[in-house]
Amino acid sequence: MKISAHAVGRMVGAWQEGPGPAHRRLSDRLRLLILDGRLCLGAALPGERDLAGAIGTSRTTVGAAYRTLVEHGYLETRERARATVRLPHEDAPAGRRRAGGADAETINLSFAAPPAPPEVLHAAFATALERLPLHFERHGYDRYGAGELREAVAGWYGRRGLATSPGQVMITSGAQHAIGLLARTLLSPRDKVLFDHPTYPHAIRAFTDARARLLPVAVGPSGWDVPQLLAGARSAQLAYLIPDFHNPTGLYMSAEARRSLRPACPVIIDETLADLRLDGDAGREAEPFAAHHPSTISIGSVSKSIWGGLRIGWIRAEPALLERVARTRPATDLGTPVVEQLAAAALLDAGQTRRPEALRQLRAQQDVLLEALAEHLPEVHAPRAPGGVTLWARFPEPVGSRLAAIAPDHGVTIAAGPQFGIGGAFERHVRLPYTLPAARLTEAVRRLASAHRALTAGATGTHVPAAVA
Ligand SMILES: Cc1ncc(COP(=O)(O)O)c(C=O)c1O
């Protein structure tokens, strides 16, 4: 795939900022885009002259930057052909080992997902196995999901103040599956999708895979900009919003904003984190978005409130829309595994998605993460989130991608801000989850501080970004 000089120019953004010679800054920026997957493998970069023109520099600077990337294994050149993106062989670059030779295992802060609650799951699967024989006479392929779970999900909405019938529910294999199914059902190439910026990275991926155009609207420290969203929705074919403990910021949309936000296009509301209120202020609970706007397509999941390994999520929408999704679905899957559905039904029926003890523990871990940041990285600004599983931490300088590329050398992986946006935005941010035990979180922040010190001293990292969830 050929990438135009203007597209690369947009991606490199403010590459001129920072210390060191211009060609180093440019090759560093291109290398991070490659490691991040924003410049994908095999992509053909623009010629030196074109890129130099697009980013306002000399051809010599671009040539030197390209040569550095070739030397380090990130570009391949052939006579009279564009340079193409590649990755160095596993054994090539230095820096894949931990600095200082320490042998402790790497701490994964790229995944924002709690560990499983073993006893709770065990009991749910015992119930599921008791109920399973009732399904044996059926074929087991069900595009809408098991009746027990559709009822249990309808009950979950009912308890949150949104009357729902099982006919309005389709079970999916996680919320990401729901996003992918909806993107494929609702979008045509070049349609515009409006979304919070930053947002959940795999949603962006699902929309770009559907060849949609992306229309980001900023979510600031104080929340959603309703007039901007309304204006954007007028030219969009679909909106995707996360009003309940937004990933990555943890923000919660006020009841007033929910009421006044009447987008002119269909809207997907992602409630994956809706059960994770941590500020103890149940009185501030707003009604689900769909209670104000009946045509809303809501999606949910038990991945964050119970365990991602269950791979159970759902879509709540008008039956006519679910029928369209059901027609799209067989192209990729023929239904969700029955035993997991029965276990999820038992969990939802027993109210296990809001376990006070689990929420108290998450809140305590959030405290520990904030304290560790204050001690080891005091220059980082990380507002306390009212819920969810992550902090959206801001460094004074644009170091997000470089920090993510060097952090594994110091024993920790993190997700850099630009993974949550488009066009190279959020380079000052990293997302930090508080789903690990307290001692691991403190140690992770210590390691991150060590990575940050190394970066400030001029070191660079070569790690490909870890998978994010
Ligand atoms: C906002 C949001 N939506 C969807 C997902 C995907 O959830 P699932 O594991 O149910 O596919 C996540 C997971 O992190 C998420 O944070």
Q: How far apart, in Å, are the Cα atoms of 373 and each of 259, 349, 376, 380, 439?
A: 36, 38, 5, 7, 13
Ligand 1 centroid – CA 137 distance (Å): 33
Res 91 pLDDT > 50: no
d(CA 208, CA 202): 10
Q: What 3-state DSSP class applies to 23?
A: helix
Tell me the sheet residues that pair with 314.
Answer: 171, 300
Tell me what the mean pLDDT of segment 442-466 comes to: 92
d(CA 86, CA 75) in angstroms, rounded, equals: 5
Quickly state the pLDDT bin for 461 (edges 50, 70, 90). confident
Residue type, 312: I
The sheet carrying 412-416 orders its strands as: 107-109, 412-416, 429-433, 390-394
* Position 97 pLDDT exceeds 50: no
Ligand 1 pocket, residue 176 CB under 6 Å: yes
Which atom of ligand 1 is the closest one to the Cα of 301? Answer: 10
Which residue, by CA, sits nearest to atom 16 of ligand 1?
Answer: 247
Cis peptide before 198 (omega within 30 of 0): yes
Q: Of 317 and 39, which is predicted with more confidence?
A: 317
User: 180 in ligand 1 pocket by Cβ < 6 Å?
Assistant: no
In degrees to the nearest 10, what's the CA dihedral of 178, 282, 151, 245? Answer: 0
Task: Tell whether ligand 1 has an atom less than 6 A from the beta carbon of residue 303.
Answer: yes
% pLDDT > 70, the chain: 96
Mean pLDDT confidence for 428-436: 97
Distance 308 CA to ligand 1 centre (A): 8
Question: What are the beta bridge partners of residue 415?
Answer: 431
Range with the poorest average pLDDT among 41-45, 354-358, 397-401, 432-436: 41-45
Ligand 1 in reach of 242 Cβ (< 6 A): yes
- Separation of 110 CA from ligand 1 center, angstroms? 13
Q: What is the pLDDT of residues 133-170, one digit of tens each?
A: 999 999 999 999 999 999 999 999 999 999 999 999 99
Domains of the chain: 5-85 (1.10.10.10), 99-116+355-456 (3.90.1150.10), 118-353 (3.40.640.10)
In 135-241, at which residue ranges do the beta strands (DSSP E only) sit? 169-172, 192-197, 213-220, 223-224, 238-241
- For residue 84, the model assigns a pLDDT of 92
**Hey, which residues does 198 pair with through a beta bridge?**
none
